[in-house]
Structure 1
Amino acid sequence: MKVPSSFSRLKDFRFPREVIAYAVWAYHRFAMSTADVEDLLAVRGVVVSPETVRLWVNRFGRHFADCVRTDRPKPNNMWHMDECVITIGGVKYWLWRAIDADGDVLDILVQPRRNAKAAKRFFRKLVKQFGKPRVVVTDKLRSYIQPIRSLVPDADHRAHKGLNNRIENSHRPTRRREKIMCRFKSPQQAQRFLSAHDQINTIFRPRRYKLSNQSYRHARSDAFALWADYTAEMAA
């Protein structure tokens, strides 16, 4: 089927960039497998294999995530940090995640350790990217103490499990995707997927409980407009 396109076609790709962008959006926006996205496209007359969808997601997911990072406003200066365990090939790894006070994910990092060295590596990456926070909220893991004191000595470090419920909730989408994908296949695959997944969901999951219906619809329209702009910027 020939699909009409309002954008120039990507070199060496059979389908127009709108189809590819739609597949990437559907995969990251909803709790879908590549086979689910295949069926979603098939209903619209686009016949592809789950492997093709997987290649699209791997190749262009990072492009959209980078666009979101570039355009996002400066994050709130109150950060929440936490780590959760993920099992890959029978081996435990730690997924380090940081969000701001608005609940937007700043970054994630998959590491094999849960010690001060791992905490410092992740925290240094955040400070380099976003600057120094005013407040850092963590659980009572002592590995956070030395990195925070050395990198942001003036920050107010609040180590209390009850204060960190916001980031505990942000782990839930990861758990859902981990189940759908029958666990992650490698640390590199988990890092690649989650880095894109969290950023893409930032613009398509506004805090609906804080918004009126009209405000939510405006936010959704803005998100689709941004996605169209990012689609136009795709490169083969």
Structure 2
Amino acid sequence: MRTPTNSYKRHRFHSQFISHVVWLYARFSLSLREVEELLLEPGVDVSYESIRRWTVRFGVKIARKLRRRQSRPGDGWYLNEVAVKIAGRKFWLWRAVDQHGVVLREILQPKQDKQAAKRLLTSLIRRHGFVSKRIVTDKLRSYGATKPEVAPGLDHWPLKGLNNCAENSHLPFQTRARSMQGARAPGGLQRCVSIHSATRNRFAVPSCRRAALTVRYHRMEALDAWKAAASIA
């Protein structure tokens, strides 16, 4: 008999409640203590540490399933990197999005060099199984240095003004980082970013669905997808 992927056995709370709590933390820029306070208002006493453990255990699996259900990305990839501080050390969060603003890949790396750019580009191609028609980056030379080794025929536009799509994708992460008040370890931040972006990809309303009724339908579809990924549908 096959064991369910998301096993909620030996937990005091029901699977629907745990999934809802993880959704609150993954979908909105709330801190663990703020989620704890939201739950306390209707009379549910859950510590922020329990919320953290639920996010680590179930959030990663849910995000992985959401990414598997994600549609094929666009043929234009926008790459960018942003500096972050972890326990006083400087790291770089390398991010790739398509022309629709969907986050395709995020990798936290200690350096802003050719090897870091190569790791991002190769992981992009490996995850999605094809090479885009073009990549748009800022003027960082690391991208141009790694392109001939990874995808020689790839069209590369190193134009900062055209890279706003990737730069704007950092804004939700920066809001989340402020609510977290910093990260203690690279692994924890990488995990949080992965969960947050996979959830946002599913719930963010595309520009072609801005009418009130279609927005409502989109959110209902996203909630159904979340429940299915959390194995409670």
TM-score higher than 0.5: yes
Find the residue that maps to 1:133 and give its secondary structure: coil
Unaligned runs of 5+ in 2: 1-5
Number of the residue aligned with 2:3: none
Number of the residue aligned with 1:47: 45
The 5 Å alignment of 1:140-151 reads 140-151=139-150
Residue 120 in structure 1 maps to residue 118 in structure 2: yes
Q: RMSD of the alignment, in Å? A: 1.7
2: distance between equivalents of 1:107 and 1:14?
35
For residue 9 of structure 1, report the CA deviation from its aligned partner: 7.7
Residue 204 in structure 1 maps to residue 203 in structure 2: yes
Contact 1:9-1:16 within 8 A present in 2 as well:
no
Contact 2:16-2:232 within 8 A present in 1 as well:
no
Find the residue that maps to 2:16 and give its secondary structure: helix
Number of the residue aligned with 2:63: 65
Q: Matched residues, percent identical?
A: 36
Q: Which amino acid aligns with 1:220?
A: R
Number of the residue aligned with 1:25: 23
Q: Which amino acid aligns with 1:112?
A: P
Change beyond 3 A, Cα 1:85–1:17? same
Unaligned runs of 5+ in 1: 1-7
Number of the residue aligned with 1:166: 165
Residue 156 in structure 1 maps to residue 152 in structure 2: no
1: distance between equivalents of 2:199 and 2:136?
24
Change beyond 3 A, Cα 1:72–1:9? closer
For residue 233 of structure 1, report the CA deviation from its aligned partner: 6.0
Number of the residue aligned with 2:222: 223
For residue 210 of structure 1, report the CA deviation from its aligned partner: 5.2
Find the residue that maps to 2:95 and give its secondary structure: strand
Number of the residue aligned with 1:97: 95
Q: Which amino acid aligns with 2:17?
A: V
Find the residue that maps to 1:154 and give its secondary structure: coil
Equivalent pairs counted in the alignment come to 227
Change beyond 3 A, Cα 1:209–1:39? farther
2: distance between equivalents of 1:21 and 1:233?
8
For residue 122 of structure 1, report the CA deviation from its aligned partner: 1.4
2: distance between equivalents of 1:26 and 1:80?
29
Number of the residue aligned with 1:87: 85
Number of the residue aligned with 1:5: none
Contact 2:31-2:179 within 8 A present in 1 as well:
yes
1: distance between equivalents of 2:166 and 2:230?
30
Contact 1:65-1:199 within 8 A present in 2 as well:
yes
Q: Aligned match of 1:109 in 107, 120, 126?
A: 107
2: distance between equivalents of 1:144 and 1:204?
30
For residue 199 of structure 1, report the CA deviation from its aligned partner: 0.7
Instruction: Single out whichever of 200-209 and 163-172 deviates more from structure 2.
Output: 200-209
Contact 1:79-1:100 within 8 A present in 2 as well:
yes
Find the residue that maps to 1:232 and give its secondary structure: coil
For residues 71-99 of structure 1, give each alpha carbon's deviation from its aligned partner in whole angstroms, at most 9, with x where no partner exists: 01110010000000001111110000000
For residues 132-160 of structure 1, give each alpha carbon's deviation from its aligned partner in whole angstroms, at most 9, with x where no partner exists: 11110000000001222222222210000
Q: Which amino acid aligns with 1:124?
A: T
Contact 1:208-1:216 within 8 A present in 2 as well:
no
2: distance between equivalents of 1:91 and 1:21?
33
2: distance between equivalents of 1:136 and 1:163?
11
For residue 208 of structure 1, report the CA deviation from its aligned partner: 5.3
2: distance between equivalents of 1:107 and 1:192?
12
TM-score by length of 1: 0.91
Q: Which amino acid aligns with 1:40?
A: L
